[in-house]
């Protein structure tokens, strides 16, 4: 068990933005919820999967809805707690812990606040190891954890319990309710036992976010290159350094798709890297050859500050470094790749793990 302080929360938020791989939304709101909870004497306790009892009842929590509503109608704080309580009542067990569904982006930090407010620990792990755009893109789903029972709550005290046939129905029902709730709803979903969690959870991703954020901060404080420090701590690979020369975007099927073209600088002079994205960065192509692809993480950072740049913020003239980080083993199985592999996102290519591409492709 490990307890997070205010500085840790700040660091987790930076790390979560890095793990967002260009998407996932801003972890800022959840960070502020955590800071307020800490200042009121609440505790954020991270528990390792190893410590979780086999029969523990685990309730993941998250916010869903429209980003613009999320930043305008901030939560009361009781909503995710209500959602969690409903499932407790229905199942007839007290929640042992909550857990983030995604370690990258906005939903990474919110469960930390939920745990603090409910006075339960947060499991150090998640269902993605990064950010993905759809609810079924979790290792919870690929490991057979049921979506239902699922509960939803709003700030006014409304709540409901959903027994959906499957994820498809859960999503359909939840969308309608979310709109009636005013564009944002707080959900508890994918409940599991400790035994299931050991199978289905990507472990130690909250502490990974903490490590990444801390690496960036400490390097800045010591006047060292945050980028080098980050690469060292993350076990990631530098894919490219350059200047963005073109960004094209289009809205397709509710998502923003597009690509950014980067012209090499320094040791990458005369080379070009193109990143294709759909909310998150999907594929990096250097001079016609793929150098990294989903589900591995492709992260664009400001070359000087190592501040991650989300896909909607990419613009001409930015000096960026592109790094790649291996995704978790759980995504590299046939079942995992079916849900989040390059083919799912419309690329007719085989997934090759980034460390093999790096060794075989002569990357620097």
Partner 1 sequence: MSLRIGIDVGSTHTDAVIVDKDNRLIAATKVVTSPDVTSGVLEALTKIVKESGVDPSEVAAAMFGTTHCLNAILQRKDLARVAVIRIGLPATAAVEPMVDWPPDLRRAVGDLKFLVEGGHEYTGEEISPLNEARLREICREVKGKVEAVAITSVFSPVNPDHEVRAAEIVREELGEIPVTMSSEISTLGLLERENSAILNAAVTFVANRAIQAFLEVMRSLGLEKAKLYLTQNDGTVMEAKHAAKYPIFTVATGATNSLRGAQMLTGIKDAIVVDVGGCTTNVGMLVKGFPRESTIHVEIGGVRTNFRMPDIFSIGIAGGSIVRVDDGRVCVGPESVGHELVKCGLAWGGNVVTATDVALALGVMSIEDPNCKPELARRQLDPELARKAYEIIVEGVEYAIDRVKTRPEPMPVILVGGGSLMLPTRLRGASKVIRPEHAQSANAIGAATAKTGAQIDKAYSLEHLSREKALEDAKISAVAKAVEAGADPNTVEIVEIEEIAMPYLPGNAVRIRVKAVGEIKL
Residues lying near partner 1 in the complex (CB under 8 A): 29, 32-33, 35-36, 65-69, 71-77, 113, 155-157, 179, 182-183, 243, 245-246, 251, 254, 313, 315-318
Give DSSP secondary structure letters for 71-121: TTS---SSHHHHHHHHHHHHHTS---BB--S-SSSHHHHHHHHHHHHHT--
Residue 3 · residue 43 · CB < 8 Å: yes
Residue 20 · residue 311 · CB < 8 Å: no
Place of tokens 């429209």: 66
Q: Which of 126, 273, 135, 101 is nearest to 204 (CA)?
A: 126
Shortest distance, position 163 Cβ to partner 1, whole Å: 25
Who contacts 145 (Cβ-Cβ below 8 Å, separation ≥6)? 190, 191, 192, 196, 200
Q: At what angle do helices 226-234 and 205-221 cross, to 10 degrees?
A: 150
Place of tokens 């950010």: 131
Tally helices (H) and strands (E) across the chain.
Answer: 12, 18
Shortest distance, position 235 Cβ to partner 1, whole Å: 31
Give the nearer residue to partner 1 in terms of CB position, either 63 or 336.
Answer: 63
Give the nearer residue to partner 1 in terms of CB position, either 31 or 229.
Answer: 31
Token pair for 18: 């890095």
Give the nearer residue to partner 1 in terms of CB position, either 57 or 186.
Answer: 186
Token pair for 332: 């590299």
Q: Tell me how crowded residue 255 is: count the other CB atoms within 10 A of its CB.
A: 15
Q: CA–CA separation, 96 vs 122, rounded Å?
A: 9
Shortest distance, position 244 Cβ to partner 1, whole Å: 10
Shortest distance, position 313 Cβ to partner 1, whole Å: 7
Shortest distance, position 29 Cβ to partner 1, whole Å: 7
Q: CA–CA separation, 208 vs 237, rounded Å?
A: 16
Give the nearer residue to partner 1 in terms of CB position, either 10 or 296.
Answer: 10
Give the nearer residue to partner 1 in terms of CB position, either 51 or 263.
Answer: 263
Residue 325 · residue 234 · CB < 8 Å: yes
Phi, psi of 311 (to 5 degrees): -60, -35
Shortest distance, position 218 Cβ to partner 1, whole Å: 21
Shortest distance, position 272 Cβ to partner 1, whole Å: 13
Give the nearer residue to partner 1 in terms of CB position, either 84 or 291.
Answer: 84
Residue 219 · residue 143 · CB < 8 Å: no
């Amino acid at each position: 068990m490990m307890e997070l302080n205010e500085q840790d929360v700040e660091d987790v938020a930076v790390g979560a933005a890095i793990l967002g791989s260009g998407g996932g939304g801003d972890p800022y709101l959840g960070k502020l919820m955590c800071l307020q909870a800490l200042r009121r004497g609440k505790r954020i306790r991270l528990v390792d999967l190893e410590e979780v009892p086999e029969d523990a009842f685990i309730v993941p929590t998250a916010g869903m809805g429209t980003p613009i509503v999320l930043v305008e109608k901030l939560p009361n704080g009781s909503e995710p707690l209500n959602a969690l309580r409903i499932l407790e009542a229905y199942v007839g067990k007290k929640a042992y812990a909550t857990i983030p569904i995604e370690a990258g982006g906005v939903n990474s930090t919110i469960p930390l606040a939920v745990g603090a407010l409910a006075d339960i620990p947060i499991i150090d792990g998640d269902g993605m190891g990064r950010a993905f755009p759809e609810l079924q893109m979790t290792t919870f789903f690929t490991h057979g954890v049921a979506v239902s029972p699922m509960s939803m709550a709003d700030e006014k005290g409304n709540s409901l319990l959903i027994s959906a046939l499957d994820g498809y129905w859960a999503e359909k029902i939840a969308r309608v309710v979310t709109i009636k709730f005013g564009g944002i709803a707080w959900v508890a979903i994918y409940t599991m036992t400790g035994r299931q969690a050991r199978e289905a959870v990507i472990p130690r991703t909250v502490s990974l976010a903490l490590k990444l954020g801390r690496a960036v901060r400490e390097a800045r404080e010591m006047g060292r290159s945050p980028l080098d420090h980050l690469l060292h701590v993350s076990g990631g690979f530098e894919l490219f350094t350059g200047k963005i020369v073109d960004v094209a975007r289009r809205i397709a099927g509710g998502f923003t798709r597009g690509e950014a073209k980067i012209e090499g600088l320094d040791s990458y002079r005369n080379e070009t890297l193109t990143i294709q994205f759909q909310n998150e960065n999907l594929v990096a192509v250097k001079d016609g050859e793929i150098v990294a692809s989903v589900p591995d993480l492709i992260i664009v950072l400001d070359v000087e500050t190592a501040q991650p740049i989300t896909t909607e913020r990419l613009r001409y003239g930015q000096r960026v470094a592109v790094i790649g980080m291996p995704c978790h083993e759980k995504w590299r199985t046939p079942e995992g790749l079916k849900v989040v592999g390059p083919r799912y996102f419309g690329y007719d290519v085989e997934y090759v793990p980034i460390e093999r591409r790096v060794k075989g492709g002569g990357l620097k």
